[in-house]
Amino acid sequence: MSIQKFKTFEEAERALWNFNPDQKYYEQVRALYKLFSKVNKFSYPKGIFKFKTFEEAEVHKMNAIINSAKEEIRKREKENEL
């Protein structure tokens, strides 16, 4: 990948878009999503949740992330015991 220089942020922003994707582009996107799915093992709990404030929603989200991480750790420890 070559280095590109831009005079304005608008020029740089336009360079991010690909209006004529080819097969290689789709392969790169597929590889990116495959990598992300391996890195991100977080699964959000199913259901509908109501919150009175954004802060309450953030606390719930962080607890869900922490619980998911703990579950993943327990799963890996169990696999290592076998």
Q: How far is CA 14 from the centre of its chain?
A: 23
Tell me the CA distances in angstroms from 16 to 11, 54, 74, 79, one per residue in order: 9, 32, 40, 42
Q: Which pLDDT belongs to residue 41?
A: 73
Q: Which pLDDT belongs to residue 11?
A: 92
**pLDDT above 70 for 1:** no
Q: Where are the domains of the chain?
A: 9-81
Least confident residue range of 13-17, 39-43, 74-78: 39-43
Tell me the CA distances in angstroms from 15 to 9, 12, 21, 23, one per residue in order: 10, 5, 13, 19
